[in-house]
Amino acid sequence: MEHLLNNQVRDIEISGIRKFYNMISNYKDVISLTIGQPDFKTPEHIKEATKIAIDNNKTVYTHNAGLIELRSAISKFVKTNYSLDYNPNDEIIVTSGASEAIYIALKTIINPGDEVIIPAPCYPGYEPVVKLCGGVVKHVNISNTNFKLTKELLEQNITYATKCIIIPFPSNPTGQCMKYDELKSIVNFIKDKNIFILSDEIYSELTFDGLHHSIAQFDEVKNKTIIINGLSKSHSMTGFRIGFTLAPSYITKHMIKVHQYLCTCATSTSQYAALEALTNGINDPIEMKEEYKKRRDYVYDRLIKMGLDTVKPNGAFYIFPSIKKFNLSSFDFALKLLESKKVAVVPGSAFSEHGEGYIRISYAYSMDELTEALDRLEEFIAEIEV
């Protein structure tokens, strides 16, 4: 009977990140640097707000788009931090994590056969959703442009069928960010084209050197841009599953329909936790960001001393060193490292064919774990170079 199932569902695969992560369960005493899970605990005041919501029976359906108080807090948050203006009444939807936000956005704008440009190496969660929507994925190789999307690359890859460009910065897996002038160049090129922009800014609060810039800051393209953001990474709230979309009302009024039939509304108690995070916890990410920056510097310096060609990341909590010189596939390199040194990283091939030749290391782990893992990695490299 399996052959009778939906072809689009049968043809997609589990994320390469999760595949490798799941392999770890077969090994003992492994130091895993695989998952993008902040190692900080959710701030106590946010947990307390959740408990209060439960005790006060705030456990019923909310407005489909989310609590108006929360949407207002989101509106104020993006205005204060990124100079973005979005009306909480009809331009913001609270979603069950950023993953759902990506789904409802793409489902709303993609028709069968539409092309979606995705800079790659890229987060593996975009491609399956595009395919489930009947769209066509077009990976654009950014490994030769410092892992950044450029106007020139878009010029080479946009076709009559292009419906959407995904702008995923700060990036998973590379940690790269886009500067204002770099975004401006892209804006000038696409401003007159009938192409939507999906700007995934889930790591916006974890930008280390300089400010995060959103492409929606440019009036020329704001009217065709959908921003994805959330609290999983900024406030260490992955399990609360709170994301949000920010988009013009003419798009939002259709996204809300997909959202409604998919999940009705985001979890009520998580919404109250999110409200606390974006009011009394607005500065919570600062301490986390400073610690991630210290780890970034440490991991980068260690990798460079090991002789690995590595672009220094400026955001998120990932680093993406090249292992091309060892003449091993990224999967074989990661597997041998796991088997011989009990250290787990993610093969670059998990992030599209353009990630081959790299590995992703997450530094959302303690300094003790990072130190021991990198010591083992250094030993491994010394052995395979012999």
124: CATH: 3.40.640.10
Which CATH number characterizes residue 327's domain? 3.90.1150.10
Residue 313 is classified by DSSP as: P
Final residue before a domain boundary, out of 219, 245, 277: 277
Give the residue among 91, 38, 385, 339 at the shortest CA–CA distance from 225.
91
- Model confidence over 72-128: pLDDT tens digits? 999 999 999 999 999 999 999 999 999 999 999 999 999 999 999 999 999 999 999
- Model confidence over 311-362: pLDDT tens digits? 999 999 999 999 999 999 999 999 999 999 999 999 999 999 999 999 999 9
- Please give the residue range of the domain that contains residue 246: 44-277
Are residues 20 and 136 located together in one domain of the fold? Answer: no
Final residue before a domain boundary, out of 243, 277, 311: 277
Are residues 175 and 38 located together in one domain of the fold? Answer: no
Other CB atoms within 10 A of residue 25 CB: 8
325 vs 201: CA distance, rounded Å: 33
Q: Coil, helix or strand for 231?
A: coil
123 vs 191: CA distance, rounded Å: 25
Which whole-number Å values give the CA distances from 129 to 22, 31, 34, 172, 307, in the listed order? 22, 31, 22, 17, 37
Whole-model pTM?
A: 0.96
- Model confidence over 189-232: pLDDT tens digits? 999 999 999 999 999 999 999 999 999 999 999 999 999 999 99
Domain count within the chain: 2
Are residues 268 and 291 located together in one domain of the fold? Answer: no
Across-strand partners of 229? 244
Both structure tokens of 211: 């400010």
- Model confidence over 367-376: pLDDT tens digits? 999 999 999 9
Angle between helix axes 68-82 and 268-277 (nearest 10 degrees) is: 30
Are residues 66 and 105 located together in one domain of the fold? Answer: yes
Both structure tokens of 248: 């013009």
Amino acid at 104: I
- Asked whether the CA dihedral 157, 161, 163, 168 is positive or negative, the reply is negative
Q: Coil, helix or strand for 122?
A: coil
324 vs 335: CA distance, rounded Å: 15
310 vs 320: CA distance, rounded Å: 7
Final residue before a domain boundary, out of 245, 277, 309: 277
Give the residue among 334, 327, 341, 383 at the shortest CA–CA distance from 359.
334
- Model confidence over 8-59: pLDDT tens digits? 888 877 777 777 777 777 788 899 999 889 999 999 999 999 999 999 999 9
